[in-house]
Chain A
Amino acid sequence: MTTRPPKETRDPVARKKARHLSPGKRSRAMHAMSARAAQGRFVLQVCEDCGEATYPPRDACPVCWGELDWEDQPNGATVLCETSVRVSTNLYFRDHLPWRMGKVALDAGPVALVHLHRSLGPDDRAVVRAMLDRGGNAALFALPSPGDIDMTDPQLREFVVPITGKTVLVSDARSAIGLEVVKAMHAAGAALVVAGMAPPDRRLGAGEEVLSLEGVQQMPLDITDQTSLSEALSKVGGPLDIVINTARYVRAGGVSSGGNLVDQRHAFDVSAMGLSRLAQATGPMLAGRSHGAFVDLISSDALIGSANHAGFAAAEAARLALLQSFRHEMRGGGVRVMSVFTGPVDDEHHQKVPPPKVAPRRIASAIVDALTQGREQTCVGDVAQDAMARWLDDPALYAREKNL
């Protein structure tokens, strides 16, 4: 008797459901808000001169015409009014009617139209989150206070990636990170975790018991090998919902000195070409799914390079560039492409790196969190968070400081 959540099924004869996207056109200012929402930030424009917060995004302060800057804002709000949209000419929303929306007075000042969680009504206090909608753009979602959020709200599910009942592929399941990710996805209720088993083939060792659990399928998979990928995917039982790319090849080394060209090349083959191979093989599968997602684990060294891990950082930078393109391509299919940035990991590949290092288990829980919160970009651990903050603030300075 199985205790695993059942796999989602569908009528094999029924015509496949066409997937639509929420309306995608936005102003440049709104895209700036989306870029921040992708990081899980709730920001509004604030006037440099008078300090007034404004929404919807503008290009000048409506109070004093001052320049506007994006700033993090308190996300509390009070619901003013509500409606359930029951008629829409938009194909995406027609698939999801009725759609609850409302208006809130933000604690930050402005009023805003929001997607309204089903538990909220007028005069309720709410927490407003800037989440990415199916078109990949920021949208405000009013939720009850954290802790008592009913995640089964069908509208909210459109903004996140449910794991329960889904089929998940972990590209490299044998690394310390991969094992934890398999464990976490299994614990989060995935119906099937396909665990990519990179060569060389060998018997399971201590600590790898999770790979034998019910609901975990071991699958020989080497993302540096096109053939291996095709064969592995052809053996995945049923549709694929979530791909988590944990593959990486961490080796120390410089460029002109201490650099190992074979290692550098292999790092590129895993990080960059591997991503392309995996994306090509799985993208079309994900695009047909109601909540398709691709999560890529990526080094924060991708942002600016690393003198100590030059080849690895370069490969990860290439990976990041490819991931941006892949995200663009997948947007049309409503597939979420998420990046989880990490600094040095507390694993065998970073033995010479001093702390702080991120525990593999923490990376796994960050991936689960990114999916269930629908967050496009996550930085796990102090090093990655610091790297991202400094890179966003002053990339040229960060490049100097990091590689002094």
Chain B
Amino acid sequence: MSRPQAPYDGVAVCAPVTAPYVRFSNESAHWWAGAALRQLREDAGLAPADIDGFCFASFTAGPDTAVGMAQHLGLTPRWLDHLPTGGASGVMALRRAARAVQCGDAELVVCLAADTNAIDSFRHGLANFSRFSQDAVYPYGFGGPNATFALITDAYMRAYDVTREDFGKLCVAQRANAGSNPLALQRKPLTMDAYMGARPIADPVHLFDCVMPCAGAEAFIVTTPEIAASRGLPAANVLATIERHNAFPDDPVQLRGGWEMDIDSFWQASGITPADVDCLQVYDDYPVIVAMQIEDLGFCPKGAVADFIRTTSFTIDGDLPLNTNGGQLSAGQAGAAGGFQNMTEGLRQILRQPLGEQVRDAQIALVSGFGLVNYDRGVCTGAAALRAQR
């Protein structure tokens, strides 16, 4: 029924930047956006006038949106987008910006996510997150995302015979990957014993299954290969992308994500297979979502993830390097920037600009996003395959 996806010819993705995270910040999202732009100024020699496209994501910039942010930051773009898709916003920013550049609506788009985290802002953010949450989730123990994902985890473990040790292996590997990332908030090695012995947060979710909310910003540039080259920026091509919202609404519990609806066409359009992926950067608010993506993106059959985890190594030097910066579970979750760090980290690895250790011979990164638990499940999913231009 659907047309094949047109290729992303004439698009270059480059200049991944990360404003170093802090656990709590009294600065505003605007300040954090400025910090990321300063990084781009250093790394790419960018000035406001160079930017003719701006794509922005944030939960804490209110009352401002991308509009207010453009004026705040002195931008005069001819193309502007604001993404409310949280953990899926990095992939979605890429998709939109790539088509804008490809079609000539803009030629240098800065995609930027920034969020702050004051002492009490997580609680306030929760309370006003979504109407369904307000009506039908928070009144039930106010466990926040922990409780929602605990329910998914509980059902998922029973449906597919996944154990806590399996999730533990993912978390331990990601923590090992964070070891070399100087920007990760949690770098202390995590042992399986420590993982298993952690205190319960919302059974079966325990402490090391949860991300640490923090403040930070992430950004990257989508432009033409010519502009990237002229600025001396190593760049990557976009092989294929997908996006889906509110997939499988009739599933009683979210045991699969929207990726499953589109994954065949995704691989077909990309011209590669899962075996070609050098590093996998998936959204990791909870390990159950990591496991779900491994299945739904086609790295193993549905229901076989336990075996796959047990027989695969996910460290930087492993079979399938996973969330090589440590992921949000170790690096921290800076709001919507948490939906960008998979993109910036994937880019860094294939552009050979790693924050820490380099995945050997990395050419192809698969980046996957998952966002917005509006009620009982994440609504937005997306994925992108990137290959370094060499």
Report the separation of the CA atoms of residues A352 and B94 in the bound assembly, to the nearest whole angstrom.
80
Query: By the criterion CB–CB under 8 Å, are A99 and B151 in contact?
Result: no
Across-interface contacts of B126 in A (CB, < 8 A): 89
User: A35 at the A/B interface (Cβ < 8 Å)?
Assistant: no
A108-116, A170-178, A222-230, A356-364 - the one binding chain B: A108-116
Task: Return the chain B residue nearest A100 by Cβ.
Answer: B141
Task: Return the chain B residue nearest A139 by Cβ.
Answer: B139
Label chain A's interface by main secondary structure: mixed
Report the separation of the CA atoms of residues A26 and B134 in the bound assembly, to the nearest whole angstrom.
6
Across-interface contacts of A89 in B (CB, < 8 A): 122-123, 126, 142, 144
What band does the interface of chain A fall in when counting residues whose beta carbon is under 8 Å from B? Answer: 35 or more
Task: Return the chain A residue nearest B132 by Cβ.
Answer: A56
User: A318 at the A/B interface (Cβ < 8 Å)?
Assistant: no
Within the complex, the shortest CB–CB distance from A319 to chain B, in Å, comes to 31
The contact string, 1 if C-beta is below 8 Å from chain A, for chain B 118-136, is 0000110011000110111
Query: By the criterion CB–CB under 8 Å, are B135 and A88 in contact?
Result: no
Query: By the criterion CB–CB under 8 Å, are A99 and B155 in contact?
Result: no
Query: By the criterion CB–CB under 8 Å, are A112 and B141 in contact?
Result: no
Across-interface contacts of A83 in B (CB, < 8 A): 143, 147, 150-151, 154, 202-205
User: A145 at the A/B interface (Cβ < 8 Å)?
Assistant: no
Closest 5 CB pairs of A and B: A90-B142, A85-B143, A83-B150, A85-B141, A99-B141
Report the separation of the CA atoms of residues A117 and B380 in the bound assembly, to the nearest whole angstrom.
32
Across-interface contacts of A85 in B (CB, < 8 A): 141-143, 146-147, 150, 202
Task: Return the chain B residue nearest A24 by Cβ.
Answer: B139
Which of B142, B158, B203, B204 is in CB contact (< 8 Å) with A23?
A: B142
User: B201 at the A/B interface (Cβ < 8 Å)?
Assistant: yes
Given the contacts A56-B135, A56-B136, A111 and B253 also touching, CB distance less than 8 Å: yes
Query: By the criterion CB–CB under 8 Å, are A93 and B253 in contact?
Result: no
User: B4 at the A/B interface (Cβ < 8 Å)?
Assistant: no
Task: Return the chain B residue nearest A29 by Cβ.
Answer: B135
Query: By the criterion CB–CB under 8 Å, are B135 and A84 in contact?
Result: no
Across-interface contacts of A25 in B (CB, < 8 A): 127, 134
Across-interface contacts of A30 in B (CB, < 8 A): 135-136
Report the separation of the CA atoms of residues A27 and B131 in the bound assembly, to the nearest whole angstrom.
7
Across-interface contacts of B249 in A (CB, < 8 A): 62
Task: Return the chain A residue nearest B246 by Cβ.
Answer: A62
The contact string, 1 if C-beta is below 8 Å from chain A, for chain B 62-79, is 000000000000000000
Which of A22, A26, A29, A81 is in CB contact (< 8 Å) with B151?
A: A81
Query: By the criterion CB–CB under 8 Å, are A103 and B139 in contact?
Result: no
User: A55 at the A/B interface (Cβ < 8 Å)?
Assistant: yes
Query: By the criterion CB–CB under 8 Å, are B151 and A82 in contact?
Result: yes
User: A57 at the A/B interface (Cβ < 8 Å)?
Assistant: yes
Query: By the criterion CB–CB under 8 Å, are A81 and B134 in contact?
Result: no
Report the separation of the CA atoms of residues A100 and B141 in the bound assembly, to the nearest whole angstrom.
8
Query: By the criterion CB–CB under 8 Å, are B375 and A88 in contact?
Result: no
Interface residue ranges of A117-161 to B (CB < 8 Å): 122, 133, 135, 137, 139
Which of B123, B155, B203 is in CB contact (< 8 Å) with A86?
A: B203
- 18 A-B pairs with C-beta separation under 8 A: A22-B139, A29-B135, A62-B249, A80-B252, A84-B200, A84-B202, A85-B202, A86-B199, A87-B202, A90-B123, A93-B142, A101-B140, A101-B143, A102-B151, A111-B252, A113-B140, A114-B140, A122-B154
Given the contacts A82-B154, A122-B158, A93 and B141 also touching, CB distance less than 8 Å: yes
Interface residue ranges of A59-117 to B (CB < 8 Å): 62, 80-90, 92-93, 99-103, 105, 111-115
Query: By the criterion CB–CB under 8 Å, are B139 and A80 in contact?
Result: no
Task: Return the chain A residue nearest B146 by Cβ.
Answer: A87
Query: By the criterion CB–CB under 8 Å, are A139 and B140 in contact?
Result: yes
Task: Return the chain A residue nearest B201 by Cβ.
Answer: A87
User: B138 at the A/B interface (Cβ < 8 Å)?
Assistant: yes
The contact string, 1 if C-beta is below 8 Å from chain B, for chain A 369-384, is 0000000000000000
Within the complex, the shortest CB–CB distance from B133 to chain A, in Å, comes to 9
Interface residue ranges of B159-201 to A (CB < 8 Å): 199-201
User: B316 at the A/B interface (Cβ < 8 Å)?
Assistant: no
Report the separation of the CA atoms of residues A111 and B205 in the bound assembly, to the nearest whole angstrom.
21
Across-interface contacts of B147 in A (CB, < 8 A): 83, 85, 101
Report the separation of the CA atoms of residues A99 and B203 in the bound assembly, to the nearest whole angstrom.
10
The contact string, 1 if C-beta is below 8 Å from chain A, for chain B 345-356, is 000000000000
Interface residue ranges of B254-300 to A (CB < 8 Å): none
User: B137 at the A/B interface (Cβ < 8 Å)?
Assistant: yes
User: B107 at the A/B interface (Cβ < 8 Å)?
Assistant: no
Within the complex, the shortest CB–CB distance from A327 to chain B, in Å, comes to 19
Query: By the criterion CB–CB under 8 Å, are B151 and A113 in contact?
Result: yes
User: B243 at the A/B interface (Cβ < 8 Å)?
Assistant: no
Given the contacts A85-B146, A90-B142, A99-B143, A113 and B136 also touching, CB distance less than 8 Å: yes
Task: Return the chain B residue nearest A92 by Cβ.
Answer: B142
Report the separation of the CA atoms of residues A398 and B200 in the bound assembly, to the nearest whole angstrom.
56
Task: Return the chain B residue nearest A88 by Cβ.
Answer: B142
Report the separation of the CA atoms of residues A30 and B154 in the bound assembly, to the nearest whole angstrom.
28
Across-interface contacts of A112 in B (CB, < 8 A): 136
User: B218 at the A/B interface (Cβ < 8 Å)?
Assistant: no
The listed residue with most A CB atoms (<10 A of its CB), out of B137, B142, B253, is: B142
Query: By the criterion CB–CB under 8 Å, are A81 and B135 in contact?
Result: no
Across-interface contacts of A114 in B (CB, < 8 A): 140
Within the complex, the shortest CB–CB distance from A131 to chain B, in Å, comes to 11
Report the separation of the CA atoms of residues A135 and B155 in the bound assembly, to the nearest whole angstrom.
30
Report the separation of the CA atoms of residues A85 and B139 in the bound assembly, to the nearest whole angstrom.
12
Which of B144, B201, B204, B376 is in CB contact (< 8 Å) with A113?
A: B376
